[in-house]
Homo-oligomer: A and B are copies of this chain.
Amino acid sequence: MTTDARYERSKAAVFEAVRTVIVADGIAGLTADRLAEASGVSRSTIYRNWPDLAALTCEVFDELMHRDSSKFGGDAVTALRDYLADYARRLNDPTYCAVLIALIEGSMRDEAFADVHSRSFSQTRSRAAVIIRRGQSEGAFRADLDAKQGVEEIVSPFLYRRLVTQSQITSRQVEHLHQRLIGAWSPPS
């Protein structure tokens, strides 16, 4: 095996271990010892390739948060439903949720975490904002709907449910939020 192939194999194992450990033990579990145990990669290899564990964590999180780039086509009302279903699916994933919480926790103190968190949320926000503006140009949503306000109404209920009540988001709840937003946003007839 070439050095490059060995590196790629270690990298895949270590990245997978970061995702496993964050779900099992939270951010406090991300030590070189624990990653070596979970990945089967030696501690010395981990230290050599990823001397900065916080940077490694950020890299894994960044990859995870940007893995999806679903496109939401069709009319804005349909795109909004697809967006909500996709967002619910991501939040329901224990790894995504654990990483999101770790990012929120880490962002309070660490600029690198804050940066990953902020870029990840910019993406979430801008995809929602695109759908809102498309709905406005199609005449499906009120012209005076503030995009920033609309994004908050799309994103905050599921976050509350997942982070605070810590329950899974059901497809019925996706349907229900979709109906509620469409109702609140339709232009006066």
Contacts and interface: CB of A to CB of B under 8 A. Distances in A.
A164 B160 contact: no
A25 B105 CA distance: 10
Nearest to A155: B160
Contact of A166 (B24, B28, B107): B107
Interface residues of A, number: 30
B157 A159 contact: no
Interface string A154-181: 0111011101111000000000000000
A1 interface: no
Nearest to A98: B108
Number of copies: 2
Nearest to A156: B160
A32 to B, nearest CB: 15
DSSP class of A's interface residues: helix, strand, loop or mixed? Answer: helix
Given A28-B28, A109-B26, A104 B160 contact: no
Given A27-B28, A104-B166, 15 more contacts: A26-B27, A27-B105, A97-B108, A98-B108, A101-B101, A101-B105, A114-B166, A121-B165, A152-B160, A156-B157, A156-B159, A159-B160, A159-B163, A163-B163, A184-B184
21 contacts: A24-B109, A26-B27, A26-B106, A26-B108, A27-B28, A27-B105, A28-B28, A97-B108, A101-B105, A101-B108, A104-B104, A104-B163, A105-B105, A107-B166, A108-B166, A121-B165, A155-B160, A156-B157, A156-B159, A159-B164, A163-B163
Per CB-CB distance, the 10 closest pairs between chain A and chain B, nearest first, are: A156-B160, A156-B156, A28-B28, A101-B105, A156-B157, A104-B163, A105-B105, A159-B160, A152-B157, A26-B105
